[in-house]
Amino acid sequence: MSLDTTAVKELVGQHAVDELVRSGMKVGLGTGSTAVWAVRRLGRLLQEGSLRDILAVATSSQTEMECQKLGIPLRNMNDPEIDGRIDVVIDGADEVDPQLNLTKGGGGALLREKVVAYAAGRVGIITDPSKIADRLGLNFPVPVEVVPMARLPVTRSLEAIGGKPEVRMAQRKMGAVITDNGNILLDVTFPEPFDPPLMERRINEIPGVVENGLFCGIEPVVYVGKESGEVETRTAR
Ligand code: 5RP
């Protein structure tokens, strides 16, 4: 058996839901072309009645629309039923290093993804072998969400810590990508190796930065879907 890219994403998305989600849970739902398969699996299991009493928190307008289409009950992190904590989140990633530090935000949803992941009892990350990296920030830039008036001050500060930032430009609209939170994104490559947990903190110390796409120390379980139809599980512990 040799699955194509889409089938691998479907496989690993389904696998994570089957492994991690149980009736009665508060579930965070990630964003992207892999996470959407977890959303669809959850929708299917709810429709079939195999799962019940699920409340979901979406990490982007894309995921929110998918949930609405599938009838998945949505809440936000501030709703009393959620009360700022969720049981589990399932999300994709752009890069995963050997310590299971992540780069996320390729879909521009890093702020909400991080709020939800850091408020989750368990984080399941669904990937394929193309996401596994020796180190972060070389092949895939680190996205940084920035308030628009701070674009150039933040750019200069990121350059001072070794980054090469570029404004993420929109497609089929002139100008910069505007996030679900009304901010812009700087995509930052790092030609030299860096310490991910330290860099996550340093970037967030820059005034005007709202959040960055390095996710360190969340101890995720990482599922790696393979063309063979297998799913490898990686944990830090
Ligand atoms: C969106 C993300 C996504 O999880 C990440 O970009 C991976 O997306 P895909 O599964 O489409 O490759 O962080 O902000």
Sorted by where each begins, the domain ranges of the chain are 5-132+217-234, 142-213
Q: Pick from 29, 59, 32: which is nearest to 43 by CA?
A: 29
Give the CATH fold of the 5-132+217-234 domain.
Answer: Rossmann fold (3.40.50)
Structure tokens at 152: 């150039």
| Beta carbon of 165 within 6 Å of any ligand 1 atom | no
What pLDDT sits at residue 145?
Answer: 98
Whole-number Å distance between alpha carbons of 62 and 52: 23
pLDDT in tens, 131-190: 999 999 878 999 999 999 999 999 999 999 999 999 999 999 999 999 999 999 999 999
Write the pLDDT tens digit of every residue in 186-211: 999 999 999 999 999 999 999 999 99
- 113 close to ligand 1 (CB < 6 Angstrom): yes
Q: Cα(105) to centroid of ligand 1, in Å?
A: 6
Average pLDDT over residues 116-125: 98
Residue 138's pLDDT is 76
Whether this prediction's pTM lies above 0.85 is answered by: yes
Q: Say if domain 142-213 classifies as CATH 1.10.287.90.
A: no
Q: Which atom of ligand 1 is nearest to the CA of 109?
A: 14
Reduce the DSSP state of residue 202 to 3 states and report it. helix
Averaged pLDDT score across all residues of the chain: 97
CA dist., res. 16 & res. 105, Å (int): 20
The one catalytic residue in 113, 145, 200, 211 is 113
Nearest to 105 by CA among 117, 97, 96, 114: 114
Condensed to tens digits (0 to 9), the pLDDT of residues 45-94 reads 999 999 999 999 999 999 999 999 999 999 999 999 999 999 999 999 99
Q: Are 20 and 124 in contact (CB under 8 A)?
A: yes
Q: Is the pLDDT of residue 1 over 80?
A: no
Predicted local confidence at residue 137, as pLDDT: 84
In the chain, beta strands by DSSP E: 26-29, 55-58, 74-75, 86-91, 95-96, 102-103, 120-127, 142-146, 164-167, 184-189, 209-212, 214-215, 221-225, 231-235
Query: Does the pLDDT of residue 237 top 70, yes or no?
Result: no
Contact 10 CB / ligand 1 (< 6 Å): no
Using 50, 70 and 90 to split pLDDT, how confident is the model at 43? Answer: very high
Q: What is the largest CA-CA distance in the chain?
A: 54
- For 229, other C-beta atoms within 10 Å of its C-beta total 12
